[in-house]
Structure 1
């Protein structure tokens, strides 16, 4: 039987993050890392806001002996005035996670409470946020128990690049930078300058790449443009020195999922974001 909320809160002490907590909190985050994700970085704990998130703050829950048992990052979302749980980690301990959710709720008032679930640095994609519901089954159960409901979901795929990619074919893709240096556009272009297929790659770190988007000119359907471009993306990742390439597909995007499945990607989890009513 799971511990009741009062017992969980009663034996845990909440306080703001202190400089001496950094190693313990990063260890909590590391314990929830999926294959192919970058390791946690101290900047996750020092970030004060983003383009849409303001007043970010990290709170820790400690046991009576001072050991950090859980950590929670909350913020205000400026676009809709919702209160946001940016991420929370508690070694998959139901009592600790329940206490973290209660702590977040205590600051909400009449605002919606939205759970993004995992820092974008961890998922390697600033547009895909949520909790991996297989690797973090207890977290997902704690959220459902607290009456959070799913809002969006993505399948999480990984391709092991070690000796499993066929040699590149021609024509080779063009690679061009975008405004943000972490992003690259990879595209196939014919001799007349017409774009046949294109993809977006995101660098979450020197060895961690994400295939964020891939599409092709529908007039080229049946000519394996998607397969050819995907192969080029894999070779780009190898050239960058990555051991694996991560990608996502919305749960109902069966065409993209099939393309990834048929070309060496393996689904490891499903990333789900949640929200709670007032």
Structure 2
């Protein structure tokens, strides 16, 4: 559903109020990606307060959190945006924005966010909020109009991540023997390690499922190993661990902007696709350089 703001007259902006909760939760549900949890009032409360277990240090570094809603005379909520400043680098951040991907609503909310940023450097969607399961970035396809609205006011891409999902269990995957399992606290789950002569050849971290959805983090293989047997076998073990935890599906965030020259995202993608993962979307982080005085907006 796309809300046409023009039929309600001029759009109106105001700070978020507690009475907006139900309407905002509907808005968040409309924008939810497959594999992500249904947003609850508690999750929304954490996001509004600037808390997130996915990146507590990143959120603690912010200042002046402001959440603005776009409302219409009939009492509807056409969109919401949350922004803050980051004193350590004097940057302004657009943290999350939802508007059912309406072009008009996105442009209006982005304009308000930029009003508050002044002439500073601006980052869009650089942190994982409490609204999602560690998701960083704007979905490129699901939020195409929002992406275009950002590009129209001078934003450019900063990073890109593939968001993948698979139903569990997956039959026919190879498995490795002699895989060590260790408990992890952050995230809560297990670390899988493949060692040879005391050296770690491959490792993966799996996060315990929430709502039946587990997460596979950082499946990495030493650069001097060859072929698909090691990464695919370790992935088979990781997915078995998640099934043992009770997961019915799993998600992966595959970073394509990794600065390690030995990191091969194309090879990693082939491994996941072979294991029946489906690409849900691509997640984008964006930035806009500081603007000279008199040229803001």
Give the TM-score normalised by the residue count of structure 1: 0.85
SS at match of 2:112: helix
For the aligned residue pairs, the C-alpha RMSD in angstroms reads 2.8
Q: Deviations over 1:251-278 (max 9, x none)?
A: 3621211221222211121111111232
1:231 aligns to what?
Answer: 236
Q: Does 1:269 align with 2:274?
A: no
Q: Check 1:59–1:24 CA distance in 2 against 1; reply closer, same or farther (3 A cut).
A: same
State how far apart, in whole Å, the 1-side matches of 2:252 and 2:168 are: 13
Q: CA-to-partner distance for each residue in 1:92-141, whole Å, 9 max, x for gaps?
A: 1111111000110111112112111784345522xx52111111111112
Alpha-carbon spacing, 1:247–1:8, altered in 2? closer, same or farther (3 Å): farther
The runs of at least 4 consecutive aligned structure 1 residues that moved more than 6 Å come to 7-10
Paired position in structure 1 for 2:83: 74
Per the TM alignment, residue 194 of structure 1 is displaced from its structure 2 partner at its CA by: 3.6
Pairing 1:13-52 to 2, within 5 Å after superposition: 13-40=12-39, 41-48=43-50, 50-52=59-61
Which among 207, 227, 242 is matched to residue 247 of structure 2?
Answer: 242
The 1-side partners of 2:74 and 2:161 are apart by 39
Aligned residue pairs total 271
Task: Give me the whole-angstrom Cα distance separating, in 1, the residues matched to 2:285 and 2:270.
Answer: 23
The answer to whether the aligner puts 1:114 opposite 2:120 as a matched pair is: no
Deviation at 1:71? 0.5
d(CA) in 2 for partners of 1:183 and 1:57? 34
User: Which blocks of at least 5 consecutive residues in structure 1 are unaligned?
Assistant: none
- Three-state SS of the structure 2 residue aligned to 1:11 is coil
What residue ranges of structure 2 are gaps of 5+ in the alignment? Answer: 52-58, 258-264, 292-297
* 1:46 to partner: Cα distance: 3.3
Q: Over residues 62-93 of structure 1, what are the superposed CA-to-partner deviations in whole Å (9 max), with x where a residue is unaligned?
A: 10122111101111123312110100011111
The DSSP-based 3-state class of the residue aligned with 1:210 is strand
